[in-house]
Structure formats: structure tokens, C-alpha cells
């Protein structure tokens, strides 16, 4: 049972919650991309090689991975509004500490990024749960558009990053200002979230099924969706962390053009997410995400093996488009049964965020051996895996919801 009292939800309240959910996604993306856009400058200032940078970036993933298994029970008890509010404040603190660490040294940077990652992980589950609640009140699929909001935030963060790099604004000043803006905006909007559970007298069976997140860890469909999300999260996360660095080091473009390559990746991801609901409604989840996985593979190949920066930039656009819908579709699939949404979203996100844990060091260590640019081939390999398990995200029928709990849901 959540800490928010069930009350009737008016159309005006649903509209306000929809806006607030967009704000949460946009704020999350803006904060993350603001940090990601300054990775090359932090690397140069602290004199980090590819392996060391990979380990530093691992702090974000480690914080997220610790938060995610805890976030399902926390959201269930405290509600998505309180969770997102608290995590927005913590994210602001972490980003500020990381900003200071860029001046002081690696240790405070890692501490700040760990707090940033912890907040980002729990915030992610909270806002996705609220997204599934809003979807149910609206009666249509809009999750990918919320994730388009995240991508819009990342585009804004990346473009701002490119601008402040061009005019030589210090990293610490840039990230501290971003932290203040994100905290103020998201805390203000999260109070308009609607309650996660609107049934004042829930079905006893539904309550039993809510149980702990451990039940969801035993559901084959949920685990396969987690693998699916992991592959797309790897494609998205590696793009976030390494496109700028790979463009600068591998294709020998300027720091500003490297940031713009990152912005191009995020732009096509945003476009794919905004127009995704129409494609999903017409062709179905599985067919759409399989095609996008192939597009992503082509994009990565162009970025890695393109003979000129023009081919590389075209590759970033296809890469972003190909990676656009995997994560939101996985979250929607996890929320198909509202009785188990918090637990399943938590499990799926926990598995998916393993990509953010493994991605930075894998690419960093491979980068020392074969260059960062060539190491990005791992993204194409995992997108191939996503295409193979895409059947797991087919919508659950009423019978399928029960079968998933029993561990016998069909996924192919």
C-alpha cells in the first residue's frame, strides 16, 4: 500500500500528472546529458586514460545498480511522487559533488557520480511507474513519448554542453547550475503526480501478487524482458558515454563537433520515441523493435567503420534511432499488469542497468586494446541479441498476466 491516499482522479489531475511525468523524464535526461557532454573535459583535466575513465564512469552504474533492487519496495510504500522528489534532491547533490571533483580529484568525482547514479536509478523506476499509471488513466500507450521527453532533455543538455564547451565555461560552474535547475523544476512538478494505486479496497489476490520483488525475479517473461532492455540500454548507455570521446579520438574531430555528434545521436533517439506510439500501434511491439535493432546495428557499423566523419555522423543518427524504443517498450511490457508493475519494472530496470554497469569498463578496457572506436562493435552484437528475444515484449492478455506470475508465460 502506498503512502498516498486513494482519491478520485479528475481529467484535470490526469493532465497535470502527464505534464509532471514529462517534466520528470526531461529533468532526468537533462541532468544526465549535461554530465555526459563534459566527460572529455573531465578526462583531460584529471589526465585519465581509457581504462581509468571507464572505471570512473562505473561509479554511476554502481550507484544505479544498488538503487534499483531497492526502488520497487520503496515506490510501493512511499509512492512515485515522494520517491522522485527525494531522488531529484539527491541527484542534485551528487552532480554538485561531481562538479567539485572535476576540480579537486578522482575520489570526490567518484563519490559524486555514485550518488548521481543511485538517485538516477531510483528516480528512473519511480517515474516509469508513474508513466504506467498515467497510461492506464489515459487508456492509451504513451510511455515512449515520456521517454522521448527524457531524450529531449538529453538533447537540450548536450546542446547546452556543446555551447558551454565552445565558450570555455568551466565544468564545475556548468554542472552546479544544472544541478540547481533540475532540482527546482522536478521537485515542483512531482507534487502533481497521481497516486500509484487508486483502488481503496484492492483485491486480496492482487495484494498477494504485489508481494516482494523476489516473485518477479522468478518470472521467465520478466527476466527475458530484462535481457531485452539490457541490450538496448547498452546501446543507449555506450552512446551516451563514448560517442563524443570516440568521435574526437577516432575520427579526429574537435571537442565541439564531438559534442554535436552526441547531440545528433540523442536527436534521432528523441524523434523515434516521439513517433513510436503510432508505429507500435500499427505494427506491434515485437516487429517494430526488431526492425529498430537492425537499424541500430547498421548505424554502429557506419560510425565505427565509416571512412570519413560524414559517415560517422550518419551512423550516430541511425544508432540513436535504432536504440530509441527498446527501453520504453520494455518498461511498458513490465507494466502490462498494474498489480505487479512496481516489482516488475524494478526487476527489468535492475537487469537493464547492468548494461550501464558493464558498458563503461568493457568499452574502456577494449579501447586500450583496439581503440575506443573499434570497441563499440560490442553494441552491434548486443542489439542482435535484442532482436532474438524481442518476442518477450508482446502485450500480456488477462490470462497471460496470471501465467507470468506462475512462471509459465509464453514469450515467443
State the pLDDT at residue 90. 96
DSSP string across 130-176: HHHHHHHHHTS--HHHHHHHHHHHHHHHHHHHHHHHHTT--HHHHHH
Report the pLDDT averaged over residues 210-228: 80
CA distance 111 to 179: 16
CA trace torsion 28, 30, 35, 36 (10° rounding): 100
Above 50 in pLDDT, residue 6?
Answer: no
Above 50 in pLDDT, residue 250?
Answer: yes
Report the pLDDT averaged over residues 142-162: 86
State the pLDDT at residue 386. 94
Number of neighbours of residue 12 by Cβ within 10 angstroms: 8
Above 50 in pLDDT, residue 38?
Answer: yes
Q: What is the distance between the terminal CA atoms of the chain, rounded to a whole angstrom?
A: 34
State the pLDDT at residue 197. 67
Name the packing angle between helices 11-36 and 143-166 (round to 10°).
40
Q: Sorting pLDDT into bands at 50, 70 and 90, what band is 211?
A: very low
Report the pLDDT averaged over residues 162-186: 92
CA trace torsion 367, 368, 369, 373 (10° rounding): 20
Q: Sorting pLDDT into bands at 50, 70 and 90, what band is 397?
A: low
What is the chain's mean pLDDT, rounded?
Answer: 84
CA distance 140 to 134: 9
Lowest mean pLDDT among 102-111, 144-153, 225-234: 144-153
State the pLDDT at residue 176. 93
State the pLDDT at residue 56. 86
Query: What are the structural domain ranges in the chain?
Result: 11-195+209-406
110 CB burial (10 A radius; 0-12, 13-18, 19+) = buried
The grid cell for 193 is: 503526480
CA distance 213 to 75: 12
Q: Is 285 helix (H, G, I), strand (E, B) or coil?
A: helix
State the pLDDT at residue 201. 39
State the pLDDT at residue 36. 86
State the pLDDT at residue 409. 37
DSSP letter at 139 equals T
In this structure, the chain runs to a length of 412
Q: Is the dihedral of CA 27, 28, 29, 33 positive or negative?
A: positive
402 versus 396: which is more confidently predicted?
A: 396
* Contact by Cβ (8 Å): 90, 70: no
Above 60 in pLDDT, residue 400?
Answer: no
Q: Which helix (H) or strand (E) covers residue 231, if one does?
A: helix 220-250
User: CATH 3.40.50.720: does it fit domain 11-195+209-406?
Assistant: no
The grid cell for 70 is: 531497492
Above 70 in pLDDT, residue 132?
Answer: yes
State the pLDDT at residue 187. 94
Amino acid at each position: 500500500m502506498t503512502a498516498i491516499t486513494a482519491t478520485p482522479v479528475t481529467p484535470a489531475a490526469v493532465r497535470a500528472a502527464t505534464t509532471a511525468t514529462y517534466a520528470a523524464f526531461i529533468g532526468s535526461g537533462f541532468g544526465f546529458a549535461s554530465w555526459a557532454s563534459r566527460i572529455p573535459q573531465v578526462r583531460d583535466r584529471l589526465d585519465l586514460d581509457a581504462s581509468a575513465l571507464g572505471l570512473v564512469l562505473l561509479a554511476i552504474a554502481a550507484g544505479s545498480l544498488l538503487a534499483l533492487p531497492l526502488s520497487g519496495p520503496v515506490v510501493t510504500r512511499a509512492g512515485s511522487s515522494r520517491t522522485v522528489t527525494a531522488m531529484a534532491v539527491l541527484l542534485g547533490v551528487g552532480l554538485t559533488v561531481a562538479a567539485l571533483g572535476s576540480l579537486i580529484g578522482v575520489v570526490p568525482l567518484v563519490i559524486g557520480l555514485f550518488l548521481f547514479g543511485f538517485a538516477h536509478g531510483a528516480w528512473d523506476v519511480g517515474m516509469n511507474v508513474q508513466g504506467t499509471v498515467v497510461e492506464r488513466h489515459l487508456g492509451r500507450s504513451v510511455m515512449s513519448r515520456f521517454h522521448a521527453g527524457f531524450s529531449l532533455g538529453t538533447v537540450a543538455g548536450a546542446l547546452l554542453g556543446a555551447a558551454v564547451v565552445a565558450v570555455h565555461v568551466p565544468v564545475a560552474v556548468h554542472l552546479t547550475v544544472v544541478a540547481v535547475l533540475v532540482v527546482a523544476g522536478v521537485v515542483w512538478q512531482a507534487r502533481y503526480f497521481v497516486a500509484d494505486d487508486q483502488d481503496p479496497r484492492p483485491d486480496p489476490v492482487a495484494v498477494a501478487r504485489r508481494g516482494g520483488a523476489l516473485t518477479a525475479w522468478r518470472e521467465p517473461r520478466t527476466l527475458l524482458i530484462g535481457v531485452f532492455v539490457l541490450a538496448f540500454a547498452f546501446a543507449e548507455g555506450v552512446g551516451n558515454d563514448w560517442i563524443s570521446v570516440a568521435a574526437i579520438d577516432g575520427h579526429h574531430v574537435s571537442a565541439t563537433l564531438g559534442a554535436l555528434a552526441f547531440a545528433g545521436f540523442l536527436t534521432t533517439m528523441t524523434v523515434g520515441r516521439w513517433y513510436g506510439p503510432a508505429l507500435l500501434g500499427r505494427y506491434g511491439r515485437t516487429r517494430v523493435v526488431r526492425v529498430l535493432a537492425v537499424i541500430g546495428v547498421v548505424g554502429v557499423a557506419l560510425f565505427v567503420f565509416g571512412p570519413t566523419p560524414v559517415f560517422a555522423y550518419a551512423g550516430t543518427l541511425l544508432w540513436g534511432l535504432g536504440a530509441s524504443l527498446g527501453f520504453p517498450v520494455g518498461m511498458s511490457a513490465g507494466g502490462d499488469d498494474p498489480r505487479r508493475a512496481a516489482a516488475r519494472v524494478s526487476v527489468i530496470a535492475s537487469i537493464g542497468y547492468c548494461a550501464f554497469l558493464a558498458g563503461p569498463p568493457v568499452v574502456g578496457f577494449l579501447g586500450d586494446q583496439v581503440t575506443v572506436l573499434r570497441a563499440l562493435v560490442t553494441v552491434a552484437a548486443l542489439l542482435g541479441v535484442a532482436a532474438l528475444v524481442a518476442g518477450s515484449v508482446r502485450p500480456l492478455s488477462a490470462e497471460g498476466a496470471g501465467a507470468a506470475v506462475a512462471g509459465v508465460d509464453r514469450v515467443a
